[in-house]
Amino acid sequence: MSKEYPPDKNFSEKAYVKSVEEYYEIYKRSIEDPNTFWLEKAKDLDWIKFPTKSFNWINKDRKVFSWFEDGTINACYNCVDRHLKEDSEKTALTWISHDLKETKKINYKQLHELVSKFSNVLKSKGVKKGDRVSIYLPMIPELIIAVLSCARIGAVHSVIFAGYSVPTIKDRIDFAESKLLITSDGSYRNGKVINFIEDINLALEGNPTIESKIIIRRVNLDLQLKENEYFWDQEINSENISKDCDCETMKAEDPLFILFNSGTVEKPKGTLHTTGGYLLYVNQTFKYNFDYHKSDVYFCTADIGWITGHSYMIYGPLSNLANVIMFEGIPTYPDNESYWKIIQDHKVNIFYTAPTVVRSLMRFGKEPLKKYNLESLKLLGSVGEPINPEAWFWYYENVGNGKCPIVDTWWQTESGGFLIAPFPGAFNLKPGFATKPFFGIEAEILRDDFSKAEIDEPANIVIKKPWPGMMRTIYKDHQLFLDIYWSKFKDYYFCGDRAKVDKDGDYFIIGRLDDVIKVSGHRIGASEVESALVSNKNVGEAAVVPFLHKIKGQAMYAFIILREGIVISDNLVEELREHVSKEIGPIAKPDKIQVVKALPKTSSGKIIRRILRAIAYDSEDYGDLSTLVNPETIEQIKLKKL
Ligand code: PRX
């Protein structure tokens, strides 16, 4: 059995939840009487009309439900305006440029003014409650201002990760039928300028819904505005733009945002989150799992293009009056010490990153860390993929100096906020364990036949009932929502992960059960990459599976069948990798591409990916082979394995 790390006494004394007994007492109430429990918690937010009930199944068969349905609220008000009374001078956002040369601090009063003005800019372009606004921006303060402004006026934001390429951007803007696009002339990556404008213009070709485009000048390209294009700075500083903008009254169940993600279907799925339940859930999980106190400085390294950036860089922390550090760059530029320097210079107390980042910085050893004073740290967070013990210990010993709890947060785009994560003042930590569920989360480990798994037996992790932060549907495709999440175990939410629970009730997440691959913590659907590969003229068929990668955790292994007459070469491999990058984005490039004569299939022609997965993982555990019609493929593929 691995060693356990009990909570530090000093930490526990100041923590919101001080012992595992106290946690169980609150958890029990949250399960036995969720209505009273969540209405009590809802008092932590400012409502326009306080709700009288919490959860309601509107249609249990169709999995339509509501939280706080008769309450009205505004998310931006809760993240900005309500703090003006308490501490308007407090820094809301500390932004650091990609090269660490520039720092900007924005306090809550300034944030309020910027958001109010930009909300008026949006209104002046005809954006109204319920309209969708797409946002494609690097990590600059305007991204947070844009998101909050949408929330202020009731527009639904759809942030697109600024590393995606043209077809993916296009799909997402078109599918959301956005009225307005907010983008920049470009961004800085690894010290280089990346031009966004060409890609954006291509992505908007033939788009019938975008009426205006607002452009932030980040890299100062020499741009001539076209019709219906506007510069952010000119608009926000225009004399006609007032500093006052009322917050729209939103029903708790009005949509707040759409966030597209990858999955088991070829097309991107738009996860839809609504206002009241989501906001309360991220507010509470941020407060309890990070044990956030008002003097803490918080640094999250996630990109706002992903759910972590939405929930734990914007809505969770700002609704808790936090001071959020936002870094424009990457951990390895200008050198591999940028995170340590930021932690030292800004006296960061809570640092939240991904295991892949820890692994990539571990390569440089302890020396770089020794140059910096990281004493301010009190808690370290982890997200996006299982954290392997080696990375856990390195993070704990070297970054946290053996005194900071590691809060391993297991959750998903769909869950809105943390599902299972330590209460750091209360729990014993065990490396690799996400520990116990948040209030209101009833997790179970079920076998495929619905029976309960034994202690320590790996199986499907499911959740019994909806929680406030849960997605409400897949945008414009409720049937897909039912098929993906509610069909395998009927009345239980199927997370798509494999996990086990030990005798203490601590959960260990093993990994995905479906064809989602987690590359450096980024979520990529195998089927999306396969369809990108077969859209290349040289490729007939493709199957993509994960393999273990030292830094990325998982990386992609593509098995392809070339078209008649095509011969593989290094150039062709590179062309295919570039092709995937152009279709989806650089994060989706397969690390390995192996040409095969045939793929393992069933008699109906379905590729049996689990066989390929086993080969890629150097395992002989192929599972049931009775439906395999071409068993010879296993040896053929293994012989030429890369
Ligand atoms: O497989 C789990 C893994 O990431 C999936 C969700 O990915 P995404 O929607 O991109 O959200 C990432 C940020 C929450 C999960 O189904 N995952 C996420 N966090 C962990 C994790 N696996 C193990 N441990 C975690 N802490």
Ligand 1, atom 14: closest residue by C-alpha: 412
- CB atoms near residue 183 (< 10 Å): 27
**Burial (CB count <10 Å: 0-12, 13-18, 19+), residue 324:** buried
CB of 157 closer than 8 Å to CB of 150: yes
Give me the pLDDT at residue 319, please: 98
- Which helix (H) or strand (E) segment holds residue 202: the answer is helix 197-203
CB of 461 closer than 8 Å to CB of 415: no
Give me the pLDDT at residue 3, please: 84
Give me the pLDDT at residue 264, please: 64
Give me the pLDDT at residue 277, please: 98
Q: Domain 104-257, what fold?
A: Rossmann fold (3.40.50)
Give the whole-angstrom CA distance, residue 304 versus residue 106: 18
Closest CA to 15 of 379, 348, 324, 278: 379
Closest CA to 299 of 352, 368, 227: 352
SS3 label, residue 105: strand
Give me the pLDDT at residue 1, please: 54
Three-point CA angle 361, 367, 370, nearest 5°: 105
Closest CA to 145 of 235, 43, 258: 235
Predicted confidence (pLDDT) per residue in 452-504, tens digit:
999 999 999 999 999 999 999 999 999 999 999 999 998 999 999 999 999 99
Atom in ligand 1 nearest the alpha carbon of residue 512: 1
| Alpha carbon distances (Å) from 399 to 144, 289, 380, 425 | 28, 19, 8, 19
Bond from prior residue into 466 cis (ω within 30 degrees of 0)? no
Atom in ligand 1 nearest the alpha carbon of residue 496: 16
Atom in ligand 1 nearest the alpha carbon of residue 434: 26
Ligand 1, atom 8: closest residue by C-alpha: 412
Three-point CA angle 123, 124, 127, nearest 5°: 40
**Amino acid at site 576:** L
Give me the pLDDT at residue 266, please: 66
Ligand 1 pocket list (CB less than 6 A) = 261, 307-308, 382-386, 408-413, 434, 495-497, 509, 512, 518, 523
Atom in ligand 1 nearest the alpha carbon of residue 495: 16
Q: What is the location of CATH 3.30.300.30 in the chain? A: 520-639
Give me the pLDDT at residue 601, please: 92
Give the whole-angstrom CA distance, residue 313 versus residue 325: 8
Q: What are phi and psi of 468, to 5 degrees?
A: -60, -35
Q: What is the location of CATH 3.40.50.980 in the chain? A: 104-257
Give the whole-angstrom CA distance, residue 325 versus residue 330: 14
Give me the pLDDT at residue 624, please: 86
Closest CA to 285 of 441, 132, 138: 441
Give every residue of the chain whose pLDDT is below 50, as ranges: none
Give the whole-angstrom CA distance, residue 140 versus residue 123: 22
CB-based contacts of 184: which residues, under 8 Å, 6+ apart? Answer: 136, 137, 138, 140, 142, 196, 215, 216, 217, 218, 219
**Amino acid at site 101:** K
Q: What are phi and psi of 525, to 5 degrees?
A: -80, 130
Token pair, residue 59, equals 């249609």
Closest CA to 290 of 30, 104, 11: 11
The stretches of 311-454 forming alpha helices (DSSP H) are 316-319, 338-345, 355-362, 367-370, 389-394
Atom in ligand 1 nearest the alpha carbon of residue 421: 26
The CATH homologous superfamily of the domain defined by 520-639: ANL, C-terminal domain (3.30.300.30)
- Distance from residue 585's CA to the centre of ligand 1 (Å): 20
Token pair, residue 208, equals 């019938």
Give me the pLDDT at residue 261, please: 86
**Burial (CB count <10 Å: 0-12, 13-18, 19+), residue 126:** exposed
CB of 55 closer than 8 Å to CB of 466: yes
Give the whole-angstrom CA distance, residue 316 versus residue 503: 32
Residues of 224-233 as b/e, b for ≥16 C-beta within 10 angstroms?
Answer: eeeeeebebe
Residue to substitute in 506, 520, 523 for testing ligand 1 pocket (most ligand atoms within 8 angstroms of CB): 523
